[in-house]
Structure 1
Amino acid sequence: MNAIKLQNAYRLLNHGPTVLISSAHNGKQNIMAAAWVMPLDFDPPKVTVVIDKNTYTRELIEVSETFAINVPCVAQTDVVQKVGTNSGRDLQGTDKFVEYGLDAFASTHITAPLLQGCVAWLECKIIPEPHIQNTYDLFIAEVVAAYADERVFSNGHWHFDGHPDLRTIHHVAGGHFFATGESHQAGHED
Protein backbone atom coordinates (compact mmCIF):
# COMPACT_ATOMS: atom_id res chain seq x y z
CA MET A 1 0.00 0.00 0.00
CA ASN A 2 1.46 3.31 -1.10
CA ALA A 3 0.47 6.71 0.24
CA ILE A 4 -0.97 8.87 -2.53
CA LYS A 5 -0.29 12.59 -2.86
CA LEU A 6 -3.51 14.28 -1.81
CA GLN A 7 -3.63 16.33 -5.02
CA ASN A 8 -3.98 12.98 -6.86
CA ALA A 9 -6.60 11.48 -4.52
CA TYR A 10 -9.42 12.33 -6.95
CA ARG A 11 -7.93 9.90 -9.46
CA LEU A 12 -8.77 6.99 -7.18
CA LEU A 13 -12.49 7.72 -7.76
CA ASN A 14 -12.59 9.57 -11.07
CA HIS A 15 -13.43 6.43 -13.06
CA GLY A 16 -16.64 5.89 -11.06
CA PRO A 17 -16.15 2.60 -9.20
CA THR A 18 -18.58 1.15 -6.70
CA VAL A 19 -17.04 1.68 -3.27
CA LEU A 20 -17.46 0.50 0.29
CA ILE A 21 -18.01 3.13 2.95
CA SER A 22 -16.75 2.18 6.41
CA SER A 23 -17.50 4.01 9.61
CA ALA A 24 -16.87 3.63 13.32
CA HIS A 25 -17.72 5.29 16.59
CA ASN A 26 -17.48 4.32 20.23
CA GLY A 27 -16.47 0.71 19.57
CA LYS A 28 -19.10 0.12 16.85
CA GLN A 29 -18.25 -0.20 13.16
CA ASN A 30 -20.02 -0.80 9.88
CA ILE A 31 -19.45 -1.03 6.16
CA MET A 32 -21.83 -0.51 3.23
CA ALA A 33 -21.69 -0.38 -0.55
CA ALA A 34 -22.13 2.94 -2.32
CA ALA A 35 -22.23 3.83 -5.99
CA TRP A 36 -22.90 7.56 -5.76
CA VAL A 37 -19.45 8.82 -4.78
CA MET A 38 -17.37 11.33 -6.69
CA PRO A 39 -14.39 13.67 -6.39
CA LEU A 40 -15.36 17.30 -5.83
CA ASP A 41 -12.20 19.36 -5.53
CA PHE A 42 -8.40 19.17 -5.73
CA ASP A 43 -6.91 21.39 -3.01
CA PRO A 44 -7.80 20.48 -0.44
CA PRO A 45 -9.16 17.27 -1.96
CA LYS A 46 -12.88 16.79 -1.38
CA VAL A 47 -15.42 14.10 -2.23
CA THR A 48 -19.17 13.78 -2.13
CA VAL A 49 -21.11 10.68 -1.18
CA VAL A 50 -24.82 9.95 -0.93
CA ILE A 51 -25.68 8.02 2.23
CA ASP A 52 -29.34 7.35 2.94
CA LYS A 53 -30.60 8.59 6.31
CA ASN A 54 -31.88 5.11 7.18
CA THR A 55 -28.47 3.41 7.12
CA TYR A 56 -26.49 2.35 10.15
CA THR A 57 -23.33 3.61 8.45
CA ARG A 58 -24.81 7.12 8.32
CA GLU A 59 -25.67 6.95 12.01
CA LEU A 60 -22.02 6.25 12.80
CA ILE A 61 -20.76 8.87 10.33
CA GLU A 62 -22.94 11.59 11.83
CA VAL A 63 -21.52 11.09 15.32
CA SER A 64 -17.89 10.44 14.32
CA GLU A 65 -17.88 13.04 11.50
CA THR A 66 -15.55 10.75 9.53
CA PHE A 67 -15.68 7.81 7.15
CA ALA A 68 -13.43 5.82 4.85
CA ILE A 69 -13.90 5.07 1.19
CA ASN A 70 -12.61 1.61 0.30
CA VAL A 71 -12.29 0.82 -3.42
CA PRO A 72 -12.95 -2.91 -3.89
CA CYS A 73 -11.92 -5.06 -6.82
CA VAL A 74 -13.27 -8.00 -8.86
CA ALA A 75 -12.00 -10.46 -6.24
CA GLN A 76 -14.35 -8.78 -3.71
CA THR A 77 -17.57 -8.72 -5.77
CA ASP A 78 -19.35 -11.14 -3.44
CA VAL A 79 -18.31 -9.10 -0.40
CA VAL A 80 -19.66 -5.93 -2.03
CA GLN A 81 -22.98 -7.66 -2.71
CA LYS A 82 -23.24 -8.99 0.87
CA VAL A 83 -22.43 -5.74 2.66
CA GLY A 84 -24.55 -3.80 0.17
CA THR A 85 -27.73 -5.82 0.69
CA ASN A 86 -27.72 -6.37 4.44
CA SER A 87 -27.96 -3.81 7.21
CA GLY A 88 -25.45 -3.78 10.05
CA ARG A 89 -28.33 -2.75 12.27
CA ASP A 90 -29.90 -6.21 11.79
CA LEU A 91 -26.90 -8.11 13.14
CA GLN A 92 -27.38 -9.13 16.75
CA GLY A 93 -24.31 -8.42 18.87
CA THR A 94 -21.85 -8.34 15.95
CA ASP A 95 -21.03 -6.25 12.90
CA LYS A 96 -20.52 -6.88 9.18
CA PHE A 97 -16.75 -7.22 9.57
CA VAL A 98 -17.24 -10.08 12.05
CA GLU A 99 -20.32 -11.55 10.35
CA TYR A 100 -18.61 -11.88 6.96
CA GLY A 101 -15.07 -12.51 8.20
CA LEU A 102 -13.75 -9.28 6.72
CA ASP A 103 -10.18 -8.37 7.59
CA ALA A 104 -9.55 -4.71 8.29
CA PHE A 105 -6.67 -2.53 9.33
CA ALA A 106 -6.51 0.77 11.17
CA SER A 107 -6.73 4.08 9.39
CA THR A 108 -4.21 6.75 10.33
CA HIS A 109 -6.33 9.92 10.72
CA ILE A 110 -9.85 8.68 11.49
CA THR A 111 -11.52 5.86 13.44
CA ALA A 112 -13.16 4.00 10.54
CA PRO A 113 -11.46 0.70 9.63
CA LEU A 114 -10.00 0.09 6.18
CA LEU A 115 -10.91 -3.14 4.38
CA GLN A 116 -8.05 -5.47 3.45
CA GLY A 117 -7.91 -6.54 -0.20
CA CYS A 118 -9.18 -3.30 -1.67
CA VAL A 119 -7.11 -1.45 -4.26
CA ALA A 120 -7.51 2.07 -2.79
CA TRP A 121 -8.55 3.76 0.43
CA LEU A 122 -9.44 7.37 1.26
CA GLU A 123 -9.79 8.67 4.80
CA CYS A 124 -12.39 11.44 4.96
CA LYS A 125 -13.57 14.07 7.43
CA ILE A 126 -17.06 15.55 7.02
CA ILE A 127 -17.43 19.20 6.07
CA PRO A 128 -20.70 19.96 7.88
CA GLU A 129 -23.50 21.04 5.55
CA PRO A 130 -26.64 20.11 7.55
CA HIS A 131 -29.10 21.37 4.93
CA ILE A 132 -27.75 19.25 2.06
CA GLN A 133 -27.12 16.27 4.34
CA ASN A 134 -30.69 16.28 5.64
CA THR A 135 -32.41 17.28 2.40
CA TYR A 136 -30.42 15.31 -0.18
CA ASP A 137 -28.51 12.69 1.89
CA LEU A 138 -25.37 14.21 0.35
CA PHE A 139 -22.19 14.49 2.38
CA ILE A 140 -19.15 16.56 1.49
CA ALA A 141 -15.86 15.50 3.02
CA GLU A 142 -12.21 16.44 2.89
CA VAL A 143 -9.82 13.63 2.03
CA VAL A 144 -7.14 13.66 4.74
CA ALA A 145 -5.20 10.57 3.61
CA ALA A 146 -5.22 8.35 0.52
CA TYR A 147 -3.55 5.05 -0.32
CA ALA A 148 -3.50 2.61 -3.21
CA ASP A 149 -2.22 -0.83 -4.11
CA GLU A 150 0.93 -0.07 -6.09
CA ARG A 151 0.35 -3.14 -8.29
CA VAL A 152 -2.54 -1.28 -9.98
CA PHE A 153 -2.05 2.41 -9.11
CA SER A 154 1.26 4.23 -9.29
CA ASN A 155 2.63 7.52 -10.59
CA GLY A 156 -0.87 8.95 -10.23
CA HIS A 157 -2.53 6.47 -12.62
CA TRP A 158 -4.45 3.20 -12.66
CA HIS A 159 -2.85 0.33 -14.62
CA PHE A 160 -4.85 -2.90 -14.34
CA ASP A 161 -3.11 -4.84 -17.11
CA GLY A 162 -1.90 -8.19 -15.79
CA HIS A 163 -4.13 -8.02 -12.71
CA PRO A 164 -7.69 -8.98 -13.77
CA ASP A 165 -8.81 -9.75 -10.19
CA LEU A 166 -7.66 -6.30 -9.04
CA ARG A 167 -9.77 -4.34 -11.53
CA THR A 168 -12.30 -2.06 -9.86
CA ILE A 169 -15.99 -2.86 -10.20
CA HIS A 170 -19.07 -0.91 -11.23
CA HIS A 171 -22.54 -1.95 -10.04
CA VAL A 172 -25.23 -1.71 -12.70
CA ALA A 173 -28.24 -3.31 -10.93
CA GLY A 174 -29.55 -6.49 -9.36
CA GLY A 175 -26.19 -7.88 -8.30
CA HIS A 176 -24.61 -7.33 -11.73
CA PHE A 177 -21.21 -5.65 -11.96
CA PHE A 178 -18.83 -4.63 -14.71
CA ALA A 179 -15.07 -4.64 -14.21
CA THR A 180 -12.96 -1.73 -15.35
CA GLY A 181 -11.76 -2.55 -18.85
CA GLU A 182 -8.48 -2.22 -20.64
CA SER A 183 -6.80 1.15 -20.86
CA HIS A 184 -6.28 3.14 -24.04
CA GLN A 185 -3.86 6.05 -24.36
CA ALA A 186 -5.07 8.99 -26.39
CA GLY A 187 -2.71 9.89 -29.21
CA HIS A 188 -0.80 13.13 -29.27
CA GLU A 189 -0.65 15.03 -32.51
CA ASP A 190 2.15 17.49 -33.05
Structure 2
Amino acid sequence: MRHVIIATKNKGKAKEFEALFSALDVEILTLLDLDDAPDIEETGTSFEENATLKSEAIANMTGKIVIADDSGLVIDELDGRPGIFSARYAGEDKSDEANIDKVLFEMKDVPDEKRTARFFCSLAISGPSMKTIVVNGTCEGKILTERKGTNGFGYDPIFYALDARKSMAEMSSNEKNKISHRAEALHNLKPVIEEIF
Protein backbone atom coordinates (compact mmCIF):
# COMPACT_ATOMS: atom_id res chain seq x y z
CA MET A 1 0.00 0.00 0.00
CA ARG A 2 1.31 3.40 -0.97
CA HIS A 3 1.25 6.21 1.59
CA VAL A 4 0.59 9.89 1.26
CA ILE A 5 0.85 12.22 4.23
CA ILE A 6 -1.76 14.96 4.43
CA ALA A 7 -0.09 17.79 6.33
CA THR A 8 -2.96 18.60 8.68
CA LYS A 9 -4.07 17.97 12.25
CA ASN A 10 -7.62 19.05 11.36
CA LYS A 11 -9.81 15.94 11.56
CA GLY A 12 -12.51 17.56 9.42
CA LYS A 13 -10.05 18.23 6.62
CA ALA A 14 -8.49 14.77 6.94
CA LYS A 15 -11.94 13.19 6.61
CA GLU A 16 -12.57 15.08 3.37
CA PHE A 17 -9.24 13.91 1.96
CA GLU A 18 -9.96 10.29 2.88
CA ALA A 19 -13.31 10.45 1.11
CA LEU A 20 -11.81 12.18 -1.91
CA PHE A 21 -8.91 9.69 -2.08
CA SER A 22 -11.10 6.59 -1.73
CA ALA A 23 -10.92 5.83 -5.47
CA LEU A 24 -7.10 5.64 -5.41
CA ASP A 25 -5.06 2.79 -3.93
CA VAL A 26 -3.35 5.04 -1.40
CA GLU A 27 -3.31 4.98 2.39
CA ILE A 28 -3.76 8.42 3.91
CA LEU A 29 -1.73 9.44 6.95
CA THR A 30 -2.00 12.81 8.68
CA LEU A 31 0.21 14.73 11.08
CA LEU A 32 -1.79 13.06 13.87
CA ASP A 33 -0.16 9.76 12.78
CA LEU A 34 3.38 11.14 13.08
CA ASP A 35 5.37 11.43 16.30
CA ASP A 36 6.48 14.99 17.04
CA ALA A 37 5.06 16.53 13.85
CA PRO A 38 5.94 20.21 14.00
CA ASP A 39 3.46 23.04 13.55
CA ILE A 40 4.64 24.75 10.40
CA GLU A 41 4.31 28.51 10.67
CA GLU A 42 2.23 29.90 7.81
CA THR A 43 4.37 32.90 6.94
CA GLY A 44 3.39 33.06 3.25
CA THR A 45 1.36 35.87 1.75
CA SER A 46 -0.88 33.58 -0.32
CA PHE A 47 -2.65 30.23 -0.05
CA GLU A 48 -0.12 28.79 -2.55
CA GLU A 49 2.90 29.91 -0.51
CA ASN A 50 1.49 28.55 2.77
CA ALA A 51 0.60 25.17 1.22
CA THR A 52 4.12 24.92 -0.23
CA LEU A 53 5.80 25.82 3.07
CA LYS A 54 3.90 23.01 4.82
CA SER A 55 4.31 20.32 2.16
CA GLU A 56 8.05 20.90 1.71
CA ALA A 57 8.77 21.01 5.45
CA ILE A 58 6.98 17.72 6.18
CA ALA A 59 8.38 16.02 3.05
CA ASN A 60 11.91 16.99 4.12
CA MET A 61 11.23 15.68 7.62
CA THR A 62 9.68 12.34 6.60
CA GLY A 63 11.15 11.58 3.17
CA LYS A 64 7.62 10.77 1.97
CA ILE A 65 5.18 12.31 -0.48
CA VAL A 66 3.21 15.01 1.30
CA ILE A 67 0.14 17.00 0.31
CA ALA A 68 -0.53 20.22 2.16
CA ASP A 69 -3.56 22.38 1.74
CA ASP A 70 -4.10 25.97 2.57
CA SER A 71 -7.61 27.13 2.09
CA GLY A 72 -10.02 29.74 3.26
CA LEU A 73 -12.89 32.04 2.61
CA VAL A 74 -12.47 35.01 0.27
CA ILE A 75 -15.21 37.66 0.53
CA ASP A 76 -15.29 40.29 -2.22
CA GLU A 77 -16.92 43.02 -0.11
CA LEU A 78 -14.24 42.57 2.58
CA ASP A 79 -11.38 42.98 0.06
CA GLY A 80 -10.65 39.24 0.12
CA ARG A 81 -10.75 38.82 3.90
CA PRO A 82 -10.60 36.59 5.86
CA GLY A 83 -8.42 34.97 3.15
CA ILE A 84 -5.22 33.36 4.44
CA PHE A 85 -6.27 34.33 7.98
CA SER A 86 -9.56 32.35 7.77
CA ALA A 87 -8.75 29.91 10.60
CA ARG A 88 -7.70 32.68 13.01
CA TYR A 89 -9.91 35.51 11.80
CA ALA A 90 -11.37 36.24 15.23
CA GLY A 91 -8.13 35.52 17.11
CA GLU A 92 -5.42 32.94 17.70
CA ASP A 93 -7.83 30.51 19.44
CA LYS A 94 -9.11 29.22 16.06
CA SER A 95 -12.81 29.29 17.00
CA ASP A 96 -15.19 28.51 14.12
CA GLU A 97 -18.08 30.16 15.99
CA ALA A 98 -16.14 33.36 16.73
CA ASN A 99 -14.92 33.54 13.12
CA ILE A 100 -18.49 33.18 11.81
CA ASP A 101 -19.74 35.83 14.26
CA LYS A 102 -17.05 38.26 13.09
CA VAL A 103 -17.92 37.77 9.40
CA LEU A 104 -21.65 38.12 10.05
CA PHE A 105 -21.01 41.34 12.01
CA GLU A 106 -18.79 42.81 9.27
CA MET A 107 -21.35 41.87 6.60
CA LYS A 108 -24.48 42.92 8.51
CA ASP A 109 -25.29 45.95 6.33
CA VAL A 110 -24.15 44.46 3.01
CA PRO A 111 -27.00 43.89 0.52
CA ASP A 112 -27.58 40.44 -0.96
CA GLU A 113 -26.10 41.20 -4.39
CA LYS A 114 -22.79 42.30 -2.82
CA ARG A 115 -22.35 39.23 -0.57
CA THR A 116 -20.34 37.29 -3.20
CA ALA A 117 -17.58 35.04 -1.92
CA ARG A 118 -15.68 31.88 -2.68
CA PHE A 119 -13.91 29.13 -0.85
CA PHE A 120 -10.37 28.86 -2.24
CA CYS A 121 -8.04 25.89 -1.86
CA SER A 122 -4.39 25.46 -2.80
CA LEU A 123 -2.90 21.98 -2.68
CA ALA A 124 0.87 21.57 -2.78
CA ILE A 125 2.44 18.14 -3.30
CA SER A 126 6.10 17.62 -2.40
CA GLY A 127 8.36 14.63 -2.03
CA PRO A 128 11.91 13.37 -2.21
CA SER A 129 13.68 14.53 -5.38
CA MET A 130 10.60 16.12 -6.92
CA LYS A 131 9.69 19.72 -7.63
CA THR A 132 6.70 20.92 -5.62
CA ILE A 133 3.53 21.20 -7.69
CA VAL A 134 0.62 23.45 -6.67
CA VAL A 135 -2.98 23.27 -7.94
CA ASN A 136 -5.99 25.35 -6.94
CA GLY A 137 -9.74 24.95 -6.67
CA THR A 138 -12.63 27.28 -5.89
CA CYS A 139 -16.28 27.07 -4.95
CA GLU A 140 -18.38 30.15 -5.72
CA GLY A 141 -21.08 31.32 -3.40
CA LYS A 142 -22.33 34.08 -1.17
CA ILE A 143 -22.42 34.86 2.53
CA LEU A 144 -25.74 34.20 4.27
CA THR A 145 -27.13 36.55 6.92
CA GLU A 146 -27.41 33.70 9.47
CA ARG A 147 -26.20 30.16 10.03
CA LYS A 148 -27.96 27.35 8.13
CA GLY A 149 -27.25 23.64 8.63
CA THR A 150 -25.22 21.64 11.12
CA ASN A 151 -22.79 19.62 8.96
CA GLY A 152 -19.25 20.47 7.98
CA PHE A 153 -16.90 22.82 9.81
CA GLY A 154 -15.42 26.30 9.57
CA TYR A 155 -17.55 28.79 7.65
CA ASP A 156 -19.81 26.11 6.12
CA PRO A 157 -22.99 27.28 7.94
CA ILE A 158 -22.84 30.79 6.42
CA PHE A 159 -21.56 29.90 2.93
CA TYR A 160 -24.31 29.43 0.35
CA ALA A 161 -22.90 27.40 -2.54
CA LEU A 162 -24.37 28.63 -5.83
CA ASP A 163 -24.09 25.23 -7.58
CA ALA A 164 -25.90 23.38 -4.79
CA ARG A 165 -28.36 26.15 -3.87
CA LYS A 166 -27.86 25.58 -0.16
CA SER A 167 -25.30 26.22 2.54
CA MET A 168 -22.26 23.95 2.78
CA ALA A 169 -23.50 22.93 6.25
CA GLU A 170 -26.81 21.73 4.78
CA MET A 171 -25.03 19.22 2.54
CA SER A 172 -24.04 15.64 3.21
CA SER A 173 -20.32 14.85 2.99
CA ASN A 174 -20.92 13.23 -0.40
CA GLU A 175 -22.67 16.31 -1.77
CA LYS A 176 -19.96 18.62 -0.44
CA ASN A 177 -17.17 16.43 -1.82
CA LYS A 178 -18.60 16.84 -5.32
CA ILE A 179 -18.61 20.64 -5.38
CA SER A 180 -16.15 21.88 -2.75
CA HIS A 181 -13.04 23.95 -3.44
CA ARG A 182 -10.98 21.07 -2.07
CA ALA A 183 -12.73 18.59 -4.37
CA GLU A 184 -11.93 20.77 -7.39
CA ALA A 185 -8.30 21.18 -6.30
CA LEU A 186 -7.96 17.45 -5.70
CA HIS A 187 -9.53 16.75 -9.10
CA ASN A 188 -6.83 19.00 -10.57
CA LEU A 189 -4.20 17.12 -8.54
CA LYS A 190 -5.27 13.61 -9.62
CA PRO A 191 -3.30 13.55 -12.90
CA VAL A 192 -0.22 14.69 -10.96
CA ILE A 193 -0.68 11.90 -8.40
CA GLU A 194 -1.23 9.30 -11.13
CA GLU A 195 2.01 10.41 -12.80
CA ILE A 196 3.95 10.31 -9.51
CA PHE A 197 2.77 6.79 -8.65
Q: TM-score range by the shorter chain?
A: under 0.3
Q: TM-score, normalised by structure 2?
A: 0.26
Q: TM-score, normalised by structure 1?
A: 0.26
